[in-house]
Structure 1
Amino acid sequence: MTAKCPPQPKRVGIGARPPANPHAEAWIRQRDAGALNKGDRYTARLTLDITPAMRARIKVSAFKQGLTVADLLRGLLEREFPEHRNEDTP
């Protein structure tokens, strides 16, 4: 008496890899090349208490400018308090 082998599952071939989206690939490479750890640029945290209405205005402004709230506020603070400021200027 011969034992029958269990049926083997069908092999399904895997198709070719779909073509990559060049815009997405470039975006990913750009992000990786410019990636810095937060500690490389910003080492202090600042906490402010603001009204919900002010927070909403800041978020809307940042969105309209295509910025994050953090980047918007960093730019605002940098303009108001530049690193090299003439001491005679009020």
Structure 2
Amino acid sequence: MSGKCGKRVAIGARPPTDPNAEAWIRQGDANAVQKGELYTARLTLDVTPAMRARIKVSAFTRNTTVAELLRALLEREFPEEGA
């Protein structure tokens, strides 16, 4: 026997939502640009664990993400033509 009892516990009704909270949450949706709209290609790169650690520490100390850090680095190194 698995030790589970055959009782089912009823889940109560969902509590009513606060319309002000819902509006506040949704306002971010209107202003946000979806990641897929900007970045449509994925780049995979093999690095050593030590390099990965250095990149992560650098991103953390700059209060950014690894992706944002690397995008900025690539933009500086490979600017658009005429820029």
> Normalization by structure 1: what TM-score?
0.57
Counterpart of 1:68 (choices 65, 70, 81) is 65
| 1:83–1:32 distance in 2 versus 1, CA, 3 Å | same
Counterpart Cα distance in 1 of 2:56 and 2:70: 10
1:39 aligns to 2:33 (yes or no): no
The 5-angstrom pairing of residues 1-90 of structure 1 reads 31-32=28-29, 34-85=31-82
| 1:34–1:60 distance in 2 versus 1, CA, 3 Å | farther
Between the two proteins, what is the percent identity of the paired residues?
A: 72
Identify which of structures 1 and 2 has the higher relative contact order when contacts are C-alpha pairs closer than 8 Å and 6+ apart: 2
Counterpart Cα distance in 2 of 1:44 and 1:70: 13
Partner of 1:8: none
Cα distance per residue 1:24-66 (max 9 Å; x no partner) = x7xx788545411111110000000000000000000000111
Note the residue ranges of structure 2 that are not aligned, 5 or more in a row: 1-23
Note the residue ranges of structure 1 that are not aligned, 5 or more in a row: 1-24
RMSD between aligned residues: 2.3
Following TM superposition, the consecutive aligned residue runs of length 4 or more in structure 1 with deviations greater than 6 angstroms are: none
Counterpart Cα distance in 2 of 1:30 and 1:79: 33
> Normalization by structure 2: what TM-score?
0.62
Work out which of the two has the higher radius of gyration on C-alpha atoms and give 1 or 2: 1
